[in-house]
Every structure is written in structure tokens, then in C-alpha cells.
Structure 1
Amino acid sequence: MPKIQRFLWRACASGLAIGDALNRRNINVDPLCGHCGECETTSHILLGCAYAKVVWFGCPLGSISSMNGNPSISDWIYGWKSFSNQGKKEARSLITLCSFVCWFLWLSRIDLVFGRRLWHPSEIISAAVKAFQEFMDVQSIAATISPTTLILTQRWIAPSADFIKCNCDASLSLDLCRSGIGFICRDHRGMPLIVVSDPISFSDVMVGEAHAIRMALLEMIKTGFAQVMVESDNINLITHIQDGGGTSPLLIRVIIDDIIHLSSFFVCCSFTYIPRGAWLTPWLGKLCR
């Protein structure tokens, strides 16, 4: 997942906003770990703290996740290459699960600092394993279902109760010189919470699709949604977003960078390709009429 990849990259580059790093930037915050009172560094939060060690000891990785001494987070992640000895598929699973454990350790630290809640180690393990299983299930399904089958069977699927699903679309008519974007955000009951259509001008449909997603994220941030799922029928755009934007065309590079930045404002934000089908409300298909 691009969001977790960026998080791990920032962890290795000492780019996370934690006590030790903030103090070195002359920001006056408590530099000590909220769990054990030792100096709060990235490696300490994710690996060295007794709290983190309990999580790693109790997770399904077992001895695989054990570490000798007190390695830096970058050295430890570099050591993941040894997982390849167990085969490509198993290595991918191990790296993915390690990444989710790190991510939920970080989320638990955020909740602790801001006084939201204190996670029990077992809660971190359960959340990481659940997210890992859901991610691997989606990857498995995507690898086995043909695009034709998806087009025939795809219907709007309600999100879980704690998520908001947002479907975005754009329409372009070169003959009429008209274009527009739209999106609809719905809860687990299918109830529309935000519905927007905007006849903005663009000459490339992917640019319009990107504008739609960016506008949708801004509206959902403004509304205060925490966990969101964004769906679009433009597979190329979704692929560029999931890849972090590095290989995207210059035409949409800035918009994708904005989308990736805005996604960090949510506790959880995913981007998924879904073929145009029953989820598409009529007004989205009539933006240019």
C-alpha cells in the first residue's frame, strides 16, 4: 500500500514527527516515550520499546521478526531481503505483515500522544493481522478474476460501518466543448452524505478524474471523515496513485501529488479501480449533457 510504503520510507529517513526528531528541530516537545520513558526515536517506537517488543513477540511472525541487539529501523527493514530465502510468495506475505504491524504501532503512538486511547498490544496485533488478511484477500481476488467477469458482476458494495465510500467520475464531450466532474460519498447503509457535480473545464478525461478525486478528498476532510474508500473507473489514474505518482504523466503529476498528500489526513484512505457499472448514479453520467 503506497501510504504505508511512504510511512516506512519516512521512518528510515528520520522524517516522522517524534520526540527526538522534533527536539533536534528546536521544537519544544517531550522527547520521551509515552510507554517507558526512554528517548523517543523511530527505531525505539517501532522496535526497541518494551511495548513494541511485546507486540512483535505476540504477532504471528514469531521468531522471524526477532532482532539481535538494537538495530536501526533502516537496517532492520534492509534485513527483510533475507525473507526471499523462503520463496517469493512467502517473502511478500512476511514483508506485508511486518509493514502492517509497524503501521499500527505508529497509529497507537499517535493515539497515545493525543490522548485518544491506549491500545493494548493484543489490539495492535489483531488490527494488523486483520488488515493484512483483507489486503491479501483483495490481491488474490484481483489476480484471479478477469476484467470481463468484473464488468458483468460488479455492483456497488457497501463499506463497513466505520468507513465512507466515495465514487468519483468525470465526463468530457469534445463535440459539445463541455466537461464536468462529480462524486458521491455514501455510508454503509448506502445513504448519500455528500453529492457534488461541477462543470469545470478540462481537455483530458484523466485530468478530470484526478480533479474529481482531489475535490472529493477535500470535501471529506472538511466533513471530518476518518476512514474513507475512494473508487474510480479510470484504472490508469488509480494505478498512478497507488504507485505514489512517480511515473504519472506530467499532465496530472501535480494533482496526484495533491491527492497523495491529502490522503495522509485520514486514519485510513484507499484508492480502488472499479469498472463503470451499477454504482454509477445517473447524474454522473450526464455531466456533459
Structure 2
Amino acid sequence: MRRNNRVFKTKDWSPIEVISTAERAFLEFQSAPPLGFIKVNCDAANTQGDTAGGLGIIFRDHNGRPLKALSISQVVSSAIPGEALAIREALMQARELGITNLLVESDNKEIISFIEDPNRVPPLDVAVVVEDVRELCSTFVSVSFLFVPRAMNVIADAVARKALFIMCMTDWSISTPWLDDLCLSEAIGYTHDSHQ
């Protein structure tokens, strides 16, 4: 208590202020990758009881600005294979773009665990894709994987859901109205949260 009084002597913090400040710090930390890195958010979507699915990928620079967004129609058997395919496709796209330092974010903790831990044996339906991802990692100067909550992956989710209604890969212009609106509302959410 004394240490807290010395550090925060000019302010009495209510529990709500502490939680609100922690949430804002988390959102600010998550919104943009470190300088020199490109961040890619990946997600997969599928329709209930069907193998029709879609992959969503969005790349951002160190300022959090969107660089590229892709929707890819893909047959998926379930969420985990879809998430693995989205990560593999993101790495292949990053390599084609000449990106050397990459931060990969996904809202599927399990697939990230399989990728990062070579001692974990993934299920058969994702084993080949996980091995592909591990091999692709060696083509980058730096690549890291981070689990993010679904709320921090909404644009990749929206782009993946768009893929459910298309027949081929779509490279969305960042100025596409629905995508532009989504990116803007996310940015305003971060800005609004950080100034409350």
C-alpha cells in the first residue's frame, strides 16, 4: 500500500478506473505491431453442417494501417483446420509480398500451440498444414505468433465471412467501403477507448 501511495500519490484509483485503464492499455498494445514488423490477423469461417468455408487475412503496418486484405474460399472440415489454413496462407502471402518481420495473430489458441511447440503432435487433419507453417517460418528473418481474443480479430473474421459468398480469392482494396468503414470503426474504438 505504501509503495502504491508513493507511485500514485496524486490519484486515487477506483476499481472501475483500474479495469478501464488496463483494457485501454491492452487495446493500444494490440492495435499495431512493433516498428519494423508487419502484423497479419488470420481467421477462418465455415457454415454449420457444410464444408464450405472461408479464410480471412489482413496485413497492417507498424502504425496499424491496413495494407492488404484477402478473402479466400476454402473447403474446411472444422475450425482448427480452417485456422491452420488461414495461417499458412498468410505466411505464403507475406513471403510473396517480401515481408521479413512478421507478427501473426489468431483467435485460435490451440493451433498456435501446435505451431509453436514441435513436441506437440497435431491432429491428423492439420498435421501437414502445421508442418508447412513451421517450414515457412524459416523463410522469415523474424516471425512470431500471438493468440488474440475474438474481439481483437473482428476484421479478419469479417473478411473470412465474405469468403463464404465468393468463388475465388479476393484481394480487397483497402478503400472498399465496407472494409474502410470496419477499419475506421476499429480505429475510432481504440481512439475512443484510449481517451475516456
Flag structure 1 segments of 5+ consecutive residues without an equivalent: 1-148
Q: Return the index of the structure with the highest Cα Rg.
A: 1
CA RMSD of aligned residues (A): 2.1
Give the corresponding residue for 1:256. 130
The answer to which structure, 1 or 2, has the higher relative contact order (CA under 8 A, 6+ apart) is: 2
Which of 230, 253, 266 pairs up with 2:104? Answer: 230
Q: 1:243 aligns with which of 97, 117, 127?
A: 117
Match among 34, 50, 72 for residue 160 of structure 1: 34
CA offset digits 1:62-116 (Å, max 9, x no partner): xxxxxxxxxxxxxxxxxxxxxxxxxxxxxxxxxxxxxxxxxxxxxxxxxxxxxxx
| Change over 3 Å in CA distance of 1:278–1:242 after alignment to 2 | closer
Deviations 1:222-258 (A, max 9, x none): 1111100001001110111110264111111110000
Quick check: 172-181 or 226-235, which moved more? Answer: 172-181
Larger proportion of strand: 2
Cα offsets for 1:200-221 (capped at 9, x unmatched): 1111111111111111101101
Equivalent-residue separation in structure 1 for 2:154 and 2:119 (angstroms): 26
Aligned to 2:70: 196
Match of 1:206 in 2: 80
Q: List 4+ stretches of structure 1 deviating above 2 A.
A: 152-157, 174-178, 282-289
Q: Which runs of 5+ in 2 are unaligned?
A: 1-18, 166-196
Distance 1:194 1:244, change over 3 A: farther
Question: 1:283: which partner in 2?
Answer: 159
Residues of 2 paired with 1:245 and 1:164: CA distance?
28
Scaled by the length of structure 1, what TM-score is found?
A: 0.45
Aligned residue pairs, count: 139
Q: Match for 1:174: what amino acid?
A: Q
Structure 2 Cα separation of the partners of residues 196 and 211 of structure 1: 13
**Shift, 1:276, TM fit:** 0.6
**Other-structure match for 1:182:** 56
Q: Could you say if the C-alpha distance between residues 247 and 177 of structure 1 is closer, same or farther in structure 2, counting changes exceeding 3 Å?
A: closer
Change in CA separation of 1:258 and 1:203 when aligned onto 2, cut-off 3 Å: same
Whether the aligned pair in 2 keeps the contact of 1:245 and 1:257 (CA below 8 Å) is no
Structure 1 residues 177 and 268 mapped into 2: Cα distance closer, same or farther (>3 Å)? closer
Q: For 2:154, what is the secondary structure of its paired residue?
A: coil
